Structures are given as C-alpha cells and as structure tokens.
Chain A
C-alpha cells in the first residue's frame, strides 16, 4: 500500500539520520557477539594455589610438579603456616590450598592409603567443582602410575585393593566442551531480541512525547498501516544483524551449521515479530520513554536470564521450568542450538514454532487493540 511506502521511507530516513543510533544498531551487536562469546565460559584458565608441604619428599615434590605441569595450576605461595595460606585465600590471592601431610610418601610406598588435603575456594561453585575434577584426575593418574611402579618394584607386598568403577566420559556434539560453540547461537538470539523489543516500542512512545503522534492521528493513516510502518524497518534491521551474526558464527567462530539455514531464518523472522509485538505492547502501556524502557528492560532481563543462555533450564526447579514455557527467548535459543549444532529439522522443532506463532499473534492482536488512534 502506498501509505505504508511513505511511512517506511520516513522511518528509514529518520533511523539512518540518527547518528547516535547507527553504531548501536549495527556495530554494537557485533561487538557484543564477540565479547560475549569470549567472556561466557566456565573453563578454567589458571588456578593460583598455595602449597603446604609437610613431607618434603620426592613424591610430594613430584606431585607439586605434576600440578604445575598441567598449565592450569600456578604455585603462588609456599608456606608451613596454615593460617598464612588461609589468609591468602581470604584475600583472594589463591583459590586452592594443597596440604601434604608428613607421612605422605611413606604411606604410599607401603601400599597404604596416602591422605592429602585440598582446600578449595568455593565461592563460585562451578569453578570449585571444576578445580576438584581436575585435581582428582591429576591425583588419580599419579596414583595409578605409582601403584603400578610399586607392583613392579615390590611384587610381594600386599597392596590393598578395593573395588572401583571406571567412569568413561563421552561428550557428543561438542567433544572439547567448547563454550563458544554453545554460547554463540544463544547470544545471536539475545542480540536480535534487544533490537526487536526496544526500538519499535521506543519509537512509538517517542512520537507521543514529541507530539507528532497527534498529527499522524488526524491523517487517514489506519492503525495497521501505522503499526507496519513502525515494525517493518526494525524487523529488517534485526534480520540483517542476525545474518551478519550468523556469518561471523560460521566463518569467524567456526560454529558447525549442521541444520538448515533457511529453517533458522524463517524461525528468526517469526521470533522477531513476537518480540516486536512485545515491545509494542509495552509501548501501549505507557506514555513516557523512560517508563517504557524500564518495563521492557525488566522483562528482557528476566527472559534472558531464564532463557537457558547462561544457566541451564534443566537446573531450574519445576515451577521455573514451567515458566519457561512462556519465554520466547528460551524457545528460540533451544531451536537455534538444536538446528545448528545437532542438525534438527522441522519435525523436531515444529511444536515450538507453533507456540511462537501463537505468541506473536496473541501479542500483536492485544497491542493493536490497545493502541487507539484517538488520544484519550
């Protein structure tokens, strides 16, 4: 329709003329993608530790060396004073204390259990868990090799044996447990969401505040034409950003693209409409940009944090997992991951897509109804 053409032209002119807005629309998402992808990881890079070696034996030194040799553990403090080590942990200078008692080597070489103590800073439970895992496997390896040596050197000696169950782990789709592969699809979703929710809604409220809305209300522009004029430009920009993001993901981050790109784009288009409708709805609730923005932010932060991007949805209690059923971001993140990383097709994602369509239609209808051209 011709009217829509004129509305669109005006909107695009205004968007591109807004010097401050341009970097936000095009540059910021890219920067966010880069920063986020690299920042969002639980991998261990370096663990500073303190050593209390009461044994000072060959074995204890070998143990210490093994820890350092992994490249993960860095010896920061050597002391005999427990409280000094504790202070260092309190101050945040070390994350772990390795305490080797004085009969360490003796116990091991006589085929007995050799105790040692690991004190770990558990403020961050995930990291602590990882530190424990890594330490355990270092100790386990050392234990196994030492016991093997022992059997060879002193075959007569009784080595206490208990039962063990070997746990062999296999990680599918992401064998290196690479965080980037996992995060990037989700981050792409978030980026696009920001544009979707904020900008369309903000724009409408802005016209209110400036006063041009009255002028528009007096013209023959119909409700739906006005809405399309406000939504379409940002839909286009959102899709554009997504494409750039996907390109970066594929060629920059080497994310596997097992599934169909077309599927992703179609779902993305629907998803953007859902979010824009949400932004629209919010804009009908308030007349000031400040309020609109605040409400939008509030909702978005909740959706994002509960969307399974940073912490797994499976970790949530049942009621929270149920809430996730109303969270469009959660759906899209799941779809992205399933399609890109596992090669899922229409069959697996169709119900989620139907849900998104239902959400979008619902939100759109409600906001259009609420949005009255008459200003009373």
Chain B
C-alpha cells in the first residue's frame, strides 16, 4: 500500500484563458485527515474534480492511491468514495434502496450487502424510517446516510465536498466524530469546508487562493507562520490578497 494517498505535481486546469487551478503541488499521507480550504472560486472544486476522475487536468501530474489520473481513472474510482454538497441520494428511493444501489455498484456481493445495509441503518439511526423515501428525511440524517454510503465499499480515500453545509452544530460535531472513526480505520479523508473551526480538526490543511495553493501544513504550523490566533485569521490574511472570490 502506497504511503501517499494523493500526490500532485504542478497540477493545472485551464478553461480557455482562465486558469482555475494553477500549478498546485502537494501530498496527502495515507490515513490522514486533510482539510482543503479556500474561498469560493479559488479552485477547490475543480481540483477535487481532477482528483476524483471527473475532470482531466490540463497539465501536471496527479497520483491517487498510486494510480495516474490520466490513464487509470477507472481503477481510481473503484477505490475512492465521494460525498457531494447535494448529498446526491435518490429522493424517490428509500434509505435501504439507496444503500443497496450504491453497494451493488461498487461490487459488494449480495450476502455481505444485506449485512451492510443493516449495519448502516443502525449506525445512522434510521431503523424506524428505513422504508421511508429519502425525500422525507431531515437534512442531518441525509448527510449521515450519504457519508455512510460513501465509505460502504471500504475505499482507501474518501472525498467529502462541503459535507456539513447547512447542518446544526450538534450534528456537525457528530459528523466529525464519524470522520475520526473512519480515519482510525486507516481511510484517508480529504475534506473541503467553509467552516474554519472544522479546519482545526484536520491533521493538515491547505488553503487555495486564486487557483494557487498558498499555504499547507498542520493548523499549528500555519498559525505560527502568520502569527495568527485562529485558522480563521490565517484564512482572512491570505484571502485578503486574493483577486478572485465572491463577486
């Protein structure tokens, strides 16, 4: 098993003459919780798309779990999990059916799948509503369900795109407890977030500004380097010099 979960070198993506991701070079160690921060429009989503095989880079190198994103995208997909902002569960299917569907897609054999369904239902606490359509579930439960589904097939890395958007602080806390559990099992967690306090929970974080990676390191290191009190402070200092951002 490779030491590095993610390895990029001068990874770039342009759209016409607009450079969304500008030569970023970084590494994510296997098993760590890596926070991927940045203002809106800084290039986070584009970068993540390249790493998950949704977008081909314009130039540069990237290896995910030791596999090349250019030539081995399909193999990468088998080994990663993904949870997007919208949670991407099927509204018109039940929780059970959603788990069954995604589990089957990832090749989990039937017997094991049946067991997993029960496990997930129990751990998320959906016992009473397992046969109800996802549409009727409150946001927090949808979020937990989506997360459980993303790690159903024991991926080596799980990518989380703003997973805690719009959820109350208690639920957010519980969610991060789950992230820790998952990380303890050796799964690398790559998470983007807006919440600066969540940045503190990560092993290492990076901050993207205008397509570049302007800072990377442990939260402690970053604060010391910029003589900041909180990550929020760090962020504000870096982001202030940004040209792109919310219009």
Interface residues of A (CB under 8 A from B): 2-3, 5-7, 9-10, 13-14, 17-18, 210-212, 214-215, 217-222, 373-376
Contact = CB atoms under 8 A, between A and B. Distances in A.
Contacts of A215: 82, 84, 88
A40 B86 CA distance: 48
Interface string B58-102: 000000000000000010011010101010111111000100111
Contacts of B78: 220
A10 B93 contact: yes
B236 interface: no
Nearest to B104: A6
Contact of B80 (A17, A211, A218, A222): A218
Given A219-B102, A219-B105, A376 B88 contact: no
B49 interface: yes
Given A6-B100, A218-B52, A218-B82, A14 B90 contact: yes
Contacts of A17: 92-93, 133
A2 B104 contact: yes
Interface of B: 49, 52-56, 74, 77-78, 80, 82, 84, 86, 88-93, 97, 100-102, 104-107, 133
A348 B95 CA distance: 53
Contacts of A10: 90, 93, 97, 101
B56 A18 contact: no
A186 to B, nearest CB: 35
Given A219-B77, A220-B74, A376-B56, 12 more contacts: A2-B107, A3-B105, A14-B90, A211-B88, A212-B89, A218-B52, A218-B53, A218-B77, A220-B78, A374-B53, A374-B54, A375-B55
Nearest to B88: A215
A217 B90 CA distance: 15
Contacts of A373: 54
Contacts of B82: 215, 218
A211 B90 contact: no
